[in-house]
Chain A
Amino acid sequence: MRWTALGIALASLLAPPCPAQPDHGFDWVTIGDPGNRDVTPDEAPMFFPPFSEPFEVGGVDHVYRITRTEVTVSQHLEFVSAYAPYWDGFPDDPHFIGFFIQYDAAEDRYFIPQGFEDVPTEMSWHIAARLVNWLHNDKAKEQWAFENGSYDTSTFGKNDDGTWNDQPAHHPDAKFWIPTIDEWIKGMHWDPGKDGQGGYWKYPHSSDEPPIPGWPWEGGETSAGIVEEPGDPYLPVGSYPHVQSPWGLLDGSGGVREWTETFAVDRRARFKNGTAQYQPFHEHFDRLDVVGGNPPNGIDGVRLASVPSPAAPALLVCIAFTARRRSHQ
């Protein structure tokens, strides 16, 4: 459904005011154009026969926010330090703290080695769920704040048949959550103005050609596919600021692979998307119609989703006008 300018303006005026949502230090991007269509077989052949049973994704019927980049090590550290009193596993378990946060047993504190604060972090899906619960509960320090809000962690567990009992989707009133596969794909690939009528780019940087591996200072477009040499650095998030999705999201390729909320149909894995630094075959894994997945007790990166900010109605006007302008060019 294409919104008219008048309809947008009226909707903005009549929309109930959204409660103020804290940003919690994250850089949010609002994804509008609610009601966009799913991918088509032409755009995403791997999601349709003969490659797959039909997997129609990408359409999102609501406005939402998504972080411009993956969660960083420093953002993760704040959560780790808050949740540590309730973590009953090994203090260094990478499912909890990823690979870069360090634990000082003598001082019973976690810290980051200097220079790695803005590198993308990794964690299990179950820990990512607790992270968004904590944000939903305004970073309260008590244990309850980590165990519900967006996802009820009492549902987490593996069944005897290998499926997961976990709550499949965030609570309807959640303020923060892990992006669904539709929200991730839309934010990375959907362009309301593509070809004059809206469409999906094949790759998450507004192109149908794969991003070019290479260091940003050498003109590269992604850290995936780089052939690693001794001493090569891990890049901070946002290292390719000009390589953007149609909505301005960064690091859809490279960095770390990212969890989504959505279970595969058999409930054995949550989808994950994107590629990691140095990952080969990125031209395959970065495609619109290629998704990965891991059981939720695996270790991967994540970016976050949220309800729109109070400025969303006005922003919607801007986004809709822009889309309409593109469609008439």
Chain B
Amino acid sequence: MIRSAWIAIVICIPYVTASSVFATPTVTVTPSDGGTASVEFDSGDAEWDITLTRAVGFGGDVSFLVTAPDTDPIDMVTVVSGSGGNTNVYIRGTSPGTGVDSVDTVEDIGTGVANLIELRTINDLGEPGSSNPAIKMDSINTVVVGDDVLNDIVTTNGAITDMFVGGEFQGDVDVNGSNIEKLEVIGRIGTPSVPVTIDVERNIKRIVAGEIYADISTGASFDTQYIETTGAGALDGHFVGSLTTRILSDLGGPDRGLDIAGDLDADLTFTDRVTRPITVAGGFLAARIIKIAGRLADTGDISIGSAGLHGRILINTDNIDEDWLGDVTVGATTLSTVPYYDQTPSSIGGGAVGLVPYSFHPEACVSAHDATVTSIPTKFTVRH
């Protein structure tokens, strides 16, 4: 039988600076000579501070496993990475699948590669009012937060692979060097009074939330696969803010593109094309623009609910001879015949869809095109 290569050393209590009613977190370092850890109780915060230090000059990957009972709040987990290999961090409860009570910050201050492989909390991640990021590591693999995320999530050179938040997500997201693979939030991302920023250097694969109040962007040469609001529970499922990305794209899978359970109160800017559906169960609000530099592909149908299209959809804004191929449907009405559709703005909610170069909408003009007037008007309005 192959003997496991895991050789561990347990660091239980280097020292405790104040009495504590909490059980001391345990740190297991693998291999045992790969690093050291200190665990201190901060009596001011009544929380634990943990420092994980990779051994200088150690060659190969080092893993730090932090386990604590679910009654243990952890303040800071400070990682000191270094050269020679990955420094991998795991923070969870004392049994598989369980979490610690909460964590305020997990941050790498070293010079090497530090990956957060697993983090589980039963309550919040982050600290109210703090300017520290909740997480700042090279990459974030699996994170399960029982309640809210209160501060920023930052990767310095890697993806967010699989993050689940049982409550609300109230920090900014800054992903450098890679993608958001899967971010699932049962509650809201941002709030109406405090929207957040989600800035991803590469692609957005999947974001699912009850509601979204955020300005979201990918890298200029990268795409978005799937963003959805569910409107679960008491939420309405609105998306408020903006999305800027190159292509609303399938990136290999037929995900549903942009799927909004409530109103779309956001500007959408696609610097190339739209190849996946945009579905809005509510309305597309006034003063908002969907701007597509190139084509609306035939796989990129846009459906707006019966609350109406109040904003504008602009296609081929780069004027590069691209086409309007996908259906645009408002309620039960599919605009036709494109691009010079018959339906007036007033019949679809007050908004309009235009393919560059624009033409005027004969019926929407005041007076209507070719209309016979019985008196000379003082003003003509030409609507495109």
Residues of A with Cβ closer than 8 Å to B? 42-43, 45-47, 50-53, 55, 89-90, 92-95, 99-100, 102, 105-106, 113, 116, 119, 162, 195, 199, 202, 208, 228, 230-234, 257, 264-266, 268-269, 271, 276, 278-281, 284-285, 291-295, 297-299
Identify 12 new A-B residue pairs, CB closer than 8 A, beyond the known A162-B147, A293-B144. A42-B4, A50-B26, A92-B279, A93-B230, A202-B2, A281-B88, A281-B115, A281-B117, A284-B88, A284-B117, A285-B142, A295-B164
Contact at A52–B146, with CB atoms within 8 Å?
Answer: no
> Which chain B residues border A276 with CB–CB below 8 Å?
162
Among residues of B, the one whose C-beta sits closest to the C-beta of A299 is: B184
**Which stretch (B45-53, B128-136, B254-262, B358-366) binds chain A?**
B254-262
Residue-wise interface mask of B (124-162) relative to A, using a CB-CB cutoff of 8 A (1 in contact, 0 not): 000000000000000101101011000000000001011
Contact at B184–A105, with CB atoms within 8 Å?
Answer: no
CB within 8 Å for A280 and B254 given contacts A42-B3, A264-B97, A269-B97 = no
Q: How far is the CB of A54 from chain B (nearest CB, A)?
A: 9
Among residues of A, the one whose C-beta sits closest to the C-beta of B231 is: A90
**B95 touches which of A93, A264, A278 (Cβ 8 Å):** A264
> Which chain A residues border B98 with CB–CB below 8 Å?
264-266, 268-269
Is B65 located at the chain interface by the 8 A CB criterion? Answer: yes
Contact at B281–A90, with CB atoms within 8 Å?
Answer: yes
> Which chain A residues border B120 with CB–CB below 8 Å?
269, 293
Contact at B97–A89, with CB atoms within 8 Å?
Answer: no
Contact at B67–A52, with CB atoms within 8 Å?
Answer: yes
- A27, B142: Cα distance in complex, Å: 31
Q: List 18 A-B contacts (CB under 8 A).
A: A46-B6, A50-B26, A52-B94, A89-B231, A89-B232, A93-B261, A94-B228, A102-B254, A202-B4, A266-B95, A271-B97, A279-B162, A284-B117, A292-B118, A294-B144, A297-B186, A298-B184, A299-B184
- Number of residue pairs across A and B with beta carbons under 8 Å? 147
**A50 touches which of B10, B161, B181, B186 (Cβ 8 Å):** B10
| Smallest CB-CB A-B distances: 9 pairs | A264-B97, A293-B97, A113-B254, A50-B10, A90-B261, A208-B2, A234-B253, A92-B259, A265-B95
- A257, B159: Cα distance in complex, Å: 18
Among residues of B, the one whose C-beta sits closest to the C-beta of A101 is: B256
Is B78 located at the chain interface by the 8 A CB criterion? Answer: no
Contact at B252–A233, with CB atoms within 8 Å?
Answer: yes
> Which chain A residues border B2 with CB–CB below 8 Å?
202, 208
Q: Is the interface of B mostly helix, strand, loop or mixed?
A: loop
Residues of B with Cβ closer than 8 Å to A? 1-4, 6, 8, 10, 26, 28, 65, 67, 70, 88, 93-99, 115, 117-118, 120, 122-123, 139, 141-142, 144, 146-147, 159, 161-162, 164, 166, 181, 184, 186, 206, 208, 226, 228, 230-232, 237, 251-256, 259, 261, 277, 279, 281, 303, 329, 332
> Which chain B residues border A106 with CB–CB below 8 Å?
329, 332
Most chain B beta-carbon contacts within 10 A, residue among A119, A265, A269: A269
Contact at B228–A92, with CB atoms within 8 Å?
Answer: yes
Contact at B141–A92, with CB atoms within 8 Å?
Answer: no
> Which chain B residues border A42 with CB–CB below 8 Å?
1, 3-4
Contact at A271–B96, with CB atoms within 8 Å?
Answer: yes
Q: How far is the CB of B148 from chain A (nearest CB, A)?
A: 12
- A268, B167: Cα distance in complex, Å: 13
> Which chain B residues border A230 with CB–CB below 8 Å?
251-252
Among residues of A, the one whose C-beta sits closest to the C-beta of B305 is: A105
> Which chain B residues border A46 with CB–CB below 8 Å?
6, 96
- A290, B261: Cα distance in complex, Å: 36
Q: How far is the CB of A143 from chain B (nearest CB, A)?
A: 20
Most chain B beta-carbon contacts within 10 A, residue among A50, A230, A278: A50
- A242, B219: Cα distance in complex, Å: 39
Q: How far is the CB of A307 from chain B (nearest CB, A)?
A: 27
**B252 touches which of A94, A234, A284 (Cβ 8 Å):** A234
**A231 touches which of B141, B208, B252, B261 (Cβ 8 Å):** B252
Contact at B1–A199, with CB atoms within 8 Å?
Answer: yes
- A292, B162: Cα distance in complex, Å: 11
CB within 8 Å for A47 and B166 given contacts A42-B1, A234-B252, A234-B253 = no
- A19, B237: Cα distance in complex, Å: 47
> Which chain B residues border A265 with CB–CB below 8 Å?
95, 97-98
> Which chain B residues border A94 with CB–CB below 8 Å?
208, 228, 230
Contact at B329–A53, with CB atoms within 8 Å?
Answer: no
Contact at B181–A278, with CB atoms within 8 Å?
Answer: yes
Among residues of B, the one whose C-beta sits closest to the C-beta of A208 is: B2
Q: How far is the CB of B175 from chain A (nearest CB, A)?
A: 14
- A279, B139: Cα distance in complex, Å: 12
Contact at B95–A53, with CB atoms within 8 Å?
Answer: yes
CB within 8 Å for A195 and B256 given contacts A266-B70, A279-B162 = no
**B253 touches which of A116, A266, A294 (Cβ 8 Å):** A116
Contact at A269–B144, with CB atoms within 8 Å?
Answer: yes
> Which chain B residues border A102 with CB–CB below 8 Å?
254, 256, 277
CB within 8 Å for A99 and B226 given contacts A162-B122, A234-B252, A269-B144 = yes
> Which chain B residues border A291 with CB–CB below 8 Å?
96-97
- A42, B1: Cα distance in complex, Å: 9
> Which chain A residues border B88 with CB–CB below 8 Å?
281, 284
Contact at B28–A93, with CB atoms within 8 Å?
Answer: no
Most chain B beta-carbon contacts within 10 A, residue among A234, A266, A299: A266
- A299, B95: Cα distance in complex, Å: 22
Contact at B96–A232, with CB atoms within 8 Å?
Answer: no
Contact at B96–A47, with CB atoms within 8 Å?
Answer: yes
> Which chain B residues border A202 with CB–CB below 8 Å?
2, 4
> Which chain A residues border B184 with CB–CB below 8 Å?
298-299
Among residues of A, the one whose C-beta sits closest to the C-beta of B253 is: A234
> Which chain A residues border B237 with CB–CB below 8 Å?
90
**B1 touches which of A113, A195, A228, A297 (Cβ 8 Å):** A195
> Which chain B residues border A162 with CB–CB below 8 Å?
122-123, 146-147, 166
> Which chain A residues border B10 with CB–CB below 8 Å?
50
- A202, B3: Cα distance in complex, Å: 10
> Which chain A residues border B261 with CB–CB below 8 Å?
90, 92-93
- A279, B259: Cα distance in complex, Å: 24
Q: How far is the CB of B246 from chain A (nearest CB, A)?
A: 11
Contact at A280–B159, with CB atoms within 8 Å?
Answer: yes
CB within 8 Å for A281 and B228 given contacts A50-B8, A99-B206 = no
**B208 touches which of A119, A257, A299 (Cβ 8 Å):** A299
Q: How far is the CB of A204 from chain B (nearest CB, A)?
A: 16
**A55 touches which of B26, B95, B255 (Cβ 8 Å):** B95
